[in-house]
Every structure is written in structure tokens, then in C-alpha cells.
A and B are shown apart, each in its own frame.
Chain A
Amino acid sequence: MVLTRLIPLWIAIVSGVAILVSAFIRPMESWGENFTDTFNVIAAIASVLGAGSLLKANLAKVSRRDAGWGFALVVLGTFLITLVVGLGKIGVHPSHDFPQADFGGKQETADTPFGWIYEFAMVPLTSTMFALLAFYVASAAFRAFRAKNLEASLLLGTAFVILLGRTFAGVVLTGWLPDWASGLRLENLSVYVMQVFNTAGNRAIIIGIALGVAATSLRILLGVDRSWLGGGER
């Protein structure tokens, strides 16, 4: 009870209050940085736990020959290869300033195995996953943007203004409007929607979120809400 609830609770309270106060008292500014650095160190050490979990889960899949165990083998293989190549600095060129020093070079440079893994595996894969969004936006637009009521119809109209106004189509469709009606040109209308309506709505949401963050943080710092410790009972 003391180890699992009381000590973590007091660590959270003390560090939370220290970071809060450090924003207002100049000699204490470094305290907030120190607590943040401490968290970063703990998170880095905890990555070992994550790696262990990853290995355990995938090894179990392979040993049980679960459905898709071949993919688990790929995960294990690529994990180990990247780890060995990166940690071992395999194929890394010597440092320009210290050519005699072993392991002095950097593995992130382009023409090293680690750099190749980044350039020819990481970059294409992450770009591919990000590119999926274009397809999913199209299917979401087809399925979800229906004029079911007045609010949905207004949303539709705004969507048309922004979609067309952010491309050359907007200029073609409404570029002919005279100067006195230039505010109705789609490209200007889209900027107006972003700067006025979108800004107003976003500000309201941001203010609500900020107050929500403040209230949640206070609940945690005052010890009112302890469910994050596990259990939720006082």
C-alpha cells in the first residue's frame, strides 16, 4: 500500500507543485527542468521494459505458432538487426576530428548501415502509413458528410468553401467576381472562415481544454483523484 500508492502519490504531488512553482519563482526555474530531465531519464530506462515486452510477446507468438507468427518473426529479426547495427556502430566511419578513436563516428550519417535502415526502410514506411490518410479521408467524406440536419448542412457548405478555396478551383469558380464583392471569392472566403469562425471555435475549445487540464491536474495534485495509481478507491 505504501509502496504502490502512498509513495507514488507524494512523488506526483511534490514534483507537480515544484514544477508549478518554478514557473513563478526565478531561483527555482531549474527545479522544473530537473524534474523534467528526471522523467526523461526514467522513460529512457523504462524503454528496456518495453523492449522486453515486445520480445516476450513476439517470441510467444512464434513458439505457439499463432496465426501470423511469420510477422512476429519479421518483427524480432528487424528489431535485433537494428539494435545490433545501431549499438554496435557497424560500418560507421571514423570521426573526422578523432580518426584514431574506436566507435568515434556517428551512426546516423547517410552512408552507414544504420543510415540505410533509416533512408530505405524507415522513411518509405512512415511516409506510406501517413499517405493512407488521403484514402481514409476520401472514404470518411463519402460516408460521413451527409446533410442530415441544419448543422450538418452548414458543415457541408463550409467544407465545400474550404475544399475549393484552398485550391485553384476556387479562383476559377469565383475569380470573376468584381472587387467590391471580392470577399465572396472562394479563396478569400476560405481565409475568412479560417480566421474568424474557425478561430472562434478553436479558442473556445482551447479555453475549455485548458480549464479541463487545470482541473484534472489539481485533482491529481490534491490527491482527490487517485484512480491513475490503480483502483480508483481512496
Chain B
Amino acid sequence: MSLLARLQSLDRRWIFLLMAIAVAGPILWSGLTGKTPPEQPTDAARRVLKVIDDLPEGSRVLFAFDYDPASAGELQPMATSLMRQCAARKLRIVCIALWPLGGNMAQETIAHVIRADFPSLREGVDFVNLGFQAGNEGVMKVVLTDFTKAFPKDARGQAAADLPILQGVRTVRDFPLLVNVSAGYPGSKEWVQYVVSASEGSVKMIAGCTGVQTPQMYPYYPGQLAGLLGAIKGAAEYENLLNGVMGGDPAPKYLEAQRRMAPQLFGHLLLVGLIVVGNLIQFMGRRGTRA
């Protein structure tokens, strides 16, 4: 069988193997050497940093965890860094979730960031996890009129209305900033459509979303979205900026996004190579037919 014929009938499992090597190799290299590819932050990531930085100390932030473990590979690093900046700025963080497993993601993020590195912060006073609430955009409509009706209890079972962090909170408009990390529906698009648009500018929003969702969110940036972190690239840029601002030697958990850029680099290079080879096969096939 000629080379062209072999390539035209290539079993796709060879391509899977190449992708596995392209992703696994850099992960191992990064793990052994501790090195990460350099990052050049874009305007969108800088804006995210600035929006959180501009909030006065003690401001409330609504942190919506709209993703599950399937998307955690892409979204957990940005959730970790976003919570880190909010905690470092001494903002009061109220975590909610509209995905069933989002409450667990919030709990894990709180454990990894706040309990580990900001132990002086008190639950119920400086931060709280209100957990998951079913209802998708129905919940978003309710928080516009009565926040504690939508989230009556926190994850520990305590009444939300009794929590010091929620004193004076009537609706979502009482949160100057909404930080949403989302993997799909319900997610950033619904928050923009149902909450940001309805709040007429009183609620600013930052979104962190998966690569597939990012093109959908660009029409809302920078109008309805004050900042946008798209995919692991956006997370890496933001992480890089934040580590520069926080200084010191960041813990490995605050370098995760940058670590994952190495497999992304080689994965993308492989995709470019596959596209080139695919087109070469097509041209060679056409020339063979004409001859």
C-alpha cells in the first residue's frame, strides 16, 4: 500500500495516541522541572484583576460556581485565583451554585484557598457557601427580588437571613460584583441576560468560562461583562498577573493554569500539524486523480 493510501485510511487511534503523547509529555516535563511557559496577559485578564482590585475592602462579592468536576480541569484554576484575590482584598465572599455539583466545587475551593491560606477569615462573616439551588434561570429571577428566598440556608444548614455576611442584603443588586465561573447552562450567558441586564448597571460581572463558551461571551464584553477569562489561557494570564501582584513564591495550586498551558501548546501544535497533513493528503490525492 502506498504512503498516500496508508494516510488516507489512517486509523484514528494513531491520532489519539499522538494527542495522548502531546498532552502527557508536557505534563510530565512540567511536573519534573517545575517550569511553565511564559504568559503575556491580554486586556481582558487585566480588567478582571482591576475590577476586583478597585472594590473597597469589605465589599460583598457574589461568587457563582456553575460547573462540575468534568470542567474542573479548565475552570478550577481560575476559580482558585479569583477566590484568592477576593480573599486577599478582604472582600466578603458569598458562594452560590446553580449546578448540582457546583456547591461541592465551591466547598473545595474554599477549603483549598480560604481555609488553607486565609485562616483568619470567618465563615458566616467573611465568607459563606450557600450551596446549590435548583431552578436554573428561575433562581436568577428570584435573586433579583429576594436573595434569601432563593438561598434560604447555607451549606451548614444555618438560616441565611441570620448570617452577618448577608445582613442588609435584599436582592442581588446589593452585590457590587458578580463573579461567575461557568461551564455551560445555566451560566454566564444567563447571568448576563437575567441579572446584569435587569440590574441596569448596579451589578458588575466578571465571567470565567470554558474555551467552547468564550466566543459566545465576547459579544457581551466589555459592555455587560467587565472582565472575561476565556478557557485555560485566560486563567493562565490572570494567574500570572495575580502572582506578580501578590509577590513571593506562589504555591503549586496557584500555578496550575500556567502548568496546563504546556500541554495546550503541544496539543495545538499537533492540531496544526494534523490539519497540514490532512490537506497535503487531499492535494496529493487530487493530483493522483488528475494524473
Contacts and interface: CB of A to CB of B under 8 A. Distances in A.
Nearest to B277: A142
B104 to A, nearest CB: 7
Given A127-B69, A135-B16, A146 B278 contact: yes
Nearest to B267: A134
A118 B218 contact: no
Contact of A137 (B73, B138, B219, B271): B271
Nearest to B10: A142
Nearest to B149: A33
A203 B72 CA distance: 28
Interface string B231-258: 1010000000000000000000000000
B282 A146 contact: yes
B265 A167 contact: yes
B50 interface: no
Given A167-B265, A206-B219, A108 B104 contact: yes
A195 B72 contact: no
B287 to A, nearest CB: 14
B214 interface: yes
B279 A199 contact: no
A195 B275 CA distance: 24
The residue in B16, B23, B70, B277 that gathers the most chain A C-beta atoms within 10 A of its C-beta is B70
A163 B272 contact: yes
Contact of A168 (B20, B265, B275, B282): B265
Contacts, number: 135
Interface in B263-282: 264-265, 267-272, 274-275, 277-279, 282
A126 B105 CA distance: 14
A141 B278 contact: yes
A127 B73 contact: yes
B215 A194 contact: yes
A164 B268 contact: yes
Interface residues of B, number: 57
Interface string A169-211: 1010000000000000001000100110011001100100000
B157 A95 contact: yes
B272 A164 contact: yes
A130 interface: yes
Contacts of B31: none
Given A108-B104, A145-B278, A194-B214, A37 B268 contact: no
**Chain B binding surface, main DSSP class:** helix
A224 interface: no
Interface string A39-83: 010001000000000000000000000000000000000000000
Nearest to B155: A106
Contact of A37 (B10, B70, B135): B135
B278 A143 contact: yes
Contact of A160 (B101, B157, B158, B272): B272
Contact of B70 (A97, A108, A127, A138): A127
B271 A169 contact: no
Interface string B11-38: 0100110111001000000000000011
B66 interface: no
B40 interface: yes
B219 A138 contact: no
Contacts of B38: 168, 171
B183 to A, nearest CB: 9
A29 to B, nearest CB: 6
A194 B38 CA distance: 22
Interface in A1-46: 29-30, 32-33, 36-37, 40, 44
A134 B264 CA distance: 10
A147 interface: yes
A159 interface: yes
Nearest to A159: B275
A194 B221 CA distance: 11
Given A95-B157, A147-B279, A198 B138 contact: no
A129 interface: yes
A202 to B, nearest CB: 5
Contacts of B199: none
Given A167-B265, A202-B216, A37 B275 contact: no
A178 B214 CA distance: 29
B233 A191 contact: no
A36 B40 contact: no
7 contacts: A106-B157, A126-B70, A129-B70, A141-B274, A145-B275, A169-B265, A191-B42
Given A138-B267, A141-B275, 17 more contacts: A36-B135, A97-B156, A123-B69, A126-B68, A129-B70, A134-B267, A135-B20, A138-B19, A142-B15, A148-B282, A163-B271, A167-B264, A168-B39, A168-B265, A171-B38, A187-B42, A198-B215
When A and B form their complex, which 6 residue pairs have the shortest distance between CB atoms, in order from nearest?
A36-B138, A130-B70, A126-B70, A123-B69, A167-B265, A168-B37
